[in-house]
Structure 1
Amino acid sequence: MSATTASATGEQLTLTEKQRRILEYLRDNAETQTYFKSRLIGDELDLSAKEVGSNMTTIQNSDTDLDVEKWGYSSSTTWKVTA
């Protein structure tokens, strides 16, 4: 089963399994947390920080119910996520 989401240009983007897992993690935690480090997301989902970062770009550019913004780079990329 593949998940699709509409981009800002109206294109349909298919999210990979990793991207769906990251998005689900963010949705589950966005109400109680605003800032997420790639390294810590990776630890929770058994992914590397690099895998999280490269997939966050797709999530960031997708039309989802979350606003994802690259926020900082100290000791791992930090993402600001708001619902």
Structure 2
Amino acid sequence: MSEYTEEEARIVAYLRDSVSSGERYFRAKNIAEAIGLTAKQVGTRLPHLAEKSDDVEIEKWGRSKSTTWRVTHQG
């Protein structure tokens, strides 16, 4: 598993728990509210985590007012 900062680890743990049975779609603000970070803190880390994470697959899915992220359980 890759090395994560404390904030990245919180994001990945939340996503892993949320998609344990399949896939879900998220917005940064919803993740942020759930784990006590700002939407900007989450939003700036998600593209990096998409490349870095072995636990979950994070894919930029759509963009309207804000980016939607498709997250799928790996393994």
Q: If the TM-score is normalised by the length of the shorter chain, which range does it land in?
A: 0.7 to 0.9
Task: State how far apart, in whole Å, the 2-side matches of 1:38 and 1:46 are.
Answer: 12
Counterparts of 1:73 and 1:50, CA distance in 2: 16
Higher percent of residues as helix: 2
Task: Give the aligned length.
Answer: 72
- Residue in 1 aligned with 2:44? 54
TM-score by length of 2: 0.82
In the alignment, structure 1 segments of 5+ residues that lack a partner are 6-13
Percent identity of the aligned residues? Answer: 39
Structure 2: runs of 5 or more not aligned: none
State TM-score, norm by structure 1. Answer: 0.75
In structure 2, which of residues 55, 60, 71 is the aligned counterpart of residue 70 of structure 1? 60
Q: Between the two structures, name the one with larger relative contact order (CA 8 Å, sep ≥ 6).
A: 2
- Which portions of structure 1, spanning 4 or more consecutive aligned residues, are displaced by more than 2 angstroms? 73-76
- The structure having more radius of gyration, on CA atoms, is 1
RMSD value, Cα: 1.6
2:10 aligned partner: 21
Q: For the residues of structure 2 that align with 1:75 and 1:46, how far apart are their CA atoms?
A: 22
8 A Cα contact 1:49 1:76, kept in partner: no
